[in-house]
Amino acid sequence: MEMPHLTPDVLQTFFIPFDQLRPEQKKLISLSDQLMNQLLSSDYIVIGAPLAMSSGGIYSEEPGSSNDFVATYLKSFLSFLGMKDVTVIRAEGLKIPKIKESALENAVKSIQIQ
């Protein structure tokens, strides 16, 4: 499905209490409401978010952890949406000799769905 761009009219409706929206405004945000309901009712959401500018390193520990803004940002944003149970699964060391051979396999092994 092709997603329409957010227009100023749609964005404005996000800041109006629902009970004050006119019928045409409710229609404008109906797709957003449907998608958010689907997202928030999901048991699991998988987001692929590479740290592209320095890919292949290790960022879960020092000295690289100060560069890992992606996981921190996503956790903050998802928390803002009400999603507090967030697990980060990392495929790290994909370009580091002696680590890269098992890096992806170790990442897959770390996935635990309960």
In contact, 59 and 90? CB cutoff 8 Å: yes
Kindly tell me if the per-residue pLDDT of 40 is higher than 70: yes
Cα within 13 Å of Cα(89), Cβ side? 15
| pLDDT tens digit sequence for 1-32 | 778 888 999 999 999 999 999 999 999 899 88
Q: In the predicted model, what is the mean pLDDT of residues 90-104?
A: 84
Q: How far apart are CA 58 and CA 92, in angstroms?
A: 5
What was the pLDDT predicted at 50? Answer: 75
Question: 111 or 53: which carries more pLDDT confidence?
Answer: 111
Total-model pTM: 0.61
If DSSP states are collapsed to H, E and C, what string results for 69-113?
HHHHHHHHHHHHCCCCCCCCCCCCCCCCCCCHHHHHHHHHHCCCC
